Amino acid sequence: MLIYLLALVGGILTIVSPCILPVLPFVFSRADQPFRRSGLPLLAGMAITFAVVASVATVAGAWIVRANQIGRALALIVFLVVGLALIFPLIAESLSRPFVRLGERVQRKAEAAPSVAQSVLLGVATGLLWAPCAGPILGLILTGAAVQGASAQTAILLLAFALGAALSMGLALLAGNKVFMLMKRSLGMEEWIRRGLGAAVLLGVIAIAFGWDQGILRRVSLASTSGVEQNLVDRLHPVTKPSGANAPAMSADPAQAQPSMTMMAAKNAQAPLPVEGTLPSLDGAVAWLNSSSLGPKDLKGKVVLIDFWTYSCINCLRSIPYIEAWAEKYKADGLVVIGVHTPEFAFEKDQTNVARAVRELKITYPVAIDSNYAIWKAFNNQYWPAHYFIDRQGKIRYHHFGEGEYDQSERVIRQLLKEGNTPLAVTALVEVNGVGAQAAADFDDVRSPETYIGYERRQNFVSPEALKKDSATTYTSPGRLDVNEWALAGKWKVSDERADLVATPGKIVFRFHARDLHLVLGPAKGNKPVRFRILLDGAPPAEDHGTDVDAQGDGTVKEYRLYQLIRQKGKIENRTFQIEFLDPGVQAFAFTFG
């Protein structure tokens, strides 16, 4: 029952969420009409449409993305006409002429009070525009559906979310209706009100058509609900426990995986840290690197930092330089850092691959290889990276999900060390300048999400051909992509976690918005190198190339890992990325951005 309440509250919070701003003008365009015949049917149509679109999206995948884009375009046309009709009475009259033939009485009723059907239609259009809006709570619902499969529970959760949003907007609409009635009675400005509403609708249409609702409006909004929503998620913690090789987990980023309210004491280094649990056993590791196996006896009296990571995870890679710096700085004071490598993809279970990554990343602290998810499940963990801080008595005192907030984490380390009466020198906190893929991300201008290529978690796939599971199929790329859409071209075999290129030529195209673009790749045929060439907006990347390609866009896949292909030097804009593989046998897993 708690998860349904969480979904309802998440929907209610959307009234102050940035992504709802473009929808509000369309809702308030009916504020001067009777709520029962106008506002209520509009909100009902909006909520039901949103729930249906989002529910089908969890089942249908890529085709609903294209269908929803068509629906959004039709919705924009509807609201364009509505806005113009509100501003220009002649247009309203022209649109109503066919109905005049049905009788002057019907016309007068239609002009005096819009029909329920008209309001429902506008609600459907609004729901199509609103459907892409997703905060942490909605993201949790959709992630659970993607991992565990769509179900009646998912549909009910989505409906609860939509009803919550409709409830909050309905209250605002009722208040708005009273305001509009007062203005009309006292000032006689009905015509100007209509025109103002029409202008607001047209501005909303323009904002959505040009993508401003995904960029500018998000930046200038006065409130964001992501922190509130994430705190609710952390408190109720409705995510199911992972199991097996395909555990439902996430690569956490600062926008979607922040500490819960129980950890806020750490923001003040002198405040006592609560006890969150006891350090579980580490016996489930299949092997150890840089150390023999470690257990409670070895860690007795030590402050311990556990870092869950996997070597193809970009968020983990950007955190490692800080963790290495802490391990070195506080080793003599009693800190023990343990990296728990829990794989996301099958190739990360290979101990040889993990050992090579540890060497190349220059990791010196102990690493437990957790290929069977034993330690992961013992912690009931859900994220990469995830950091757990344990005191000298073996009690978990703090945790942090995702990269970022490194100063806060280091203060926690110092506080736990001081609890054991360890005298610490007054020194500055560590400063790290990562290079290559480990450089800090430009989070202010990242608008493209981590995107998986395998069918299990794919999203925004727009090749015209239907994706066939585990079957070699020839795909083509459409001539135009919207932001965050991607496509395959050539003969590919798509499995649950990756796509294998069966024969050349083979391409992947992605329309993205971020400074950095990375792609997890590997050579399938006995680690035989695979040559590739990338283009950015149809040309070689030049100075915008990443560390794994040259200025002409040429590179080679030699091992399974994350490849940095683009690092833009200038203004960050929507760009079209293309990678063409010159040899068959490559495996492509996931795009990440920074």
User: Contact at 8 Å (CB) between 43 and 27?
Assistant: yes
Per-residue pLDDT averaged across 459-485, rounded? Answer: 94
- Let me know whether 205 and 252 are in one domain: no
Residue that wins the pLDDT comparison between 124 and 59: 124
pLDDT score at 309: 97
- Let me know whether 79 and 192 are in one domain: yes
- Let me know whether 204 and 254 are in one domain: no
Strands (DSSP E) found in 262-371: 277-278, 287-289, 303-309, 335-341, 367-369
Query: Which of 374, 420, 423, 375 has the alpha carbon at shortest distance from 397?
Result: 420
Residues in Cβ contact with 426 at an 8 Å cutoff, skipping those fewer than 6 apart = none
Alpha helices in 24-130 (DSSP H): 24-28, 40-60, 62-87, 89-100, 104-112, 116-130
Would you say the pTM of this structure is higher than 0.75? no
Residue that wins the pLDDT comparison between 4 and 368: 368
pLDDT, tens digit, for every residue of 325-349? Answer: 999 999 999 999 999 999 999 999 9
pLDDT score at 136: 47
pLDDT, tens digit, for every residue of 380-398? Answer: 999 999 999 999 999 999 9
Residues in Cβ contact with 248 at an 8 Å cutoff, skipping those fewer than 6 apart = 143, 144, 147, 148, 239, 240, 242, 382
pLDDT score at 78: 61
pLDDT score at 61: 41
Out of 438, 468, 484, a domain closes at 438
Query: Does residue 423 sit in helix, strand or coil?
Result: coil
- Could you tell me the strand order of the sheet in which 395-401 lies? 277-278, 395-401, 386-390, 303-309, 335-341, 367-369, 287-289
Lowest-confidence range among 21-25, 179-183, 389-393, 417-421?
179-183
Q: Report the CATH number that the domain containing residue 490 is assigned in CATH.
A: 2.60.120.260
Residue 202 sits in which domain range?
A: 2-227
Highest mean predicted confidence (pLDDT) among 61-70, 115-124, 176-185, 417-426: 417-426
Per-residue pLDDT averaged across 263-284, rounded? Answer: 75
Q: How confident is the model at residue 421 (pLDDT cuts 50, 70, 90)?
A: confident
Q: Is 475 within a domain?
A: yes
pLDDT score at 524: 85
Residue that wins the pLDDT comparison between 167 and 412: 412
pLDDT score at 397: 96
Q: Is 76 within a domain?
A: yes
User: Contact at 8 Å (CB) between 351 and 367?
Assistant: no
pLDDT score at 199: 74
Lowest-confidence range among 9-18, 133-142, 255-264, 416-425?
255-264
pLDDT score at 529: 94
- Let me know whether 204 and 306 are in one domain: no
- Percentage of residues in the chain having pLDDT higher than 70: 61
Running DSSP on this structure, what letter comes out for residue 39? I
Residue that wins the pLDDT comparison between 178 and 67: 178
What distance in Å separates the CA atoms of residue 481 and residue 476, rounded to the nearest whole number? 12
pLDDT score at 241: 33
Q: Is 479 exposed, middle or buried (0-12, 13-18, 19+ CB in 10 A)?
A: exposed
CA distances from 279 to 106, 240, 442 (A): 73, 21, 34
Q: How confident is the model at residue 147 (pLDDT cuts 50, 70, 90)?
A: very low
Pairing relation of β-strands 250-251 and 383-384? parallel
Neighbour tally for 367: CB within 10 Å = 26
What distance in Å separates the CA atoms of residue 503 and residue 472, rounded to the nearest whole number? 10
Q: Is 89 within a domain?
A: yes
Axis crossing angle, helix 152-187 with helix 2-13, rounded to the nearest 10: 30
- Let me know whether 452 and 585 are in one domain: yes
Query: Which of 211, 233, 226, 231 has the alpha carbon at shortest distance from 447?
Result: 211
Pairing relation of β-strands 554-557 and 586-593? unpaired
Q: Which tokens go with 147? A: 């991992």
- Let me know whether 423 and 506 are in one domain: no
What distance in Å separates the CA atoms of residue 325 and residue 483, rounded to the nearest whole number? 37
Q: How confident is the model at residue 107 (pLDDT cuts 50, 70, 90)?
A: very low
Per-residue pLDDT averaged across 127-131, rounded? Answer: 54
Out of 378, 405, 438, a domain closes at 438
- Let me know whether 366 and 456 are in one domain: no
- Let me know whether 300 and 341 are in one domain: yes
Q: Is 232 within a domain?
A: no
Per-residue pLDDT averaged across 201-230, rounded? Answer: 50
Q: Inform me whether the pLDDT recorded for 593 exceeds 50.
A: yes
Query: Which of 529, 299, 318, 532 has the alpha carbon at shortest distance from 435?
Result: 318
Out of 438, 466, 500, a domain closes at 438
- Let me know whether 374 and 462 are in one domain: no
Running DSSP on this structure, what letter comes out for residue 430? P
Q: Is 233 within a domain?
A: no
Q: Is 56 within a domain?
A: yes
Q: What are phi and psi of 386, to 5 degrees?
A: -135, 130
User: Contact at 8 Å (CB) between 114 and 38?
Assistant: yes
pLDDT, tens digit, for every residue of 536-554? Answer: 999 999 999 999 999 999 9
Q: What is the mean pLDDT of the chain?
A: 77
Q: What are phi and psi of 315, to 5 degrees?
A: -65, -40
- Let me know whether 128 and 249 are in one domain: no
Q: Is 118 within a domain?
A: yes
Q: Inform me whether the pLDDT recorded for 99 exceeds 60.
A: no
Residues in Cβ contact with 487 at an 8 Å cutoff, skipping those fewer than 6 apart = 461, 462, 463, 475, 476, 477, 478, 481, 508, 509
Number of domains, the chain:
3
pLDDT score at 264: 44
- Let me know whether 422 and 447 are in one domain: no
Q: Inform me whether the pLDDT recorded for 247 exceeds 50.
A: no
Q: Is 431 within a domain?
A: yes
- Let me know whether 413 and 450 are in one domain: no
Q: How confident is the model at residue 379 (pLDDT cuts 50, 70, 90)?
A: very high
Q: Inform me whether the pLDDT recorded for 452 exceeds 90.
A: yes
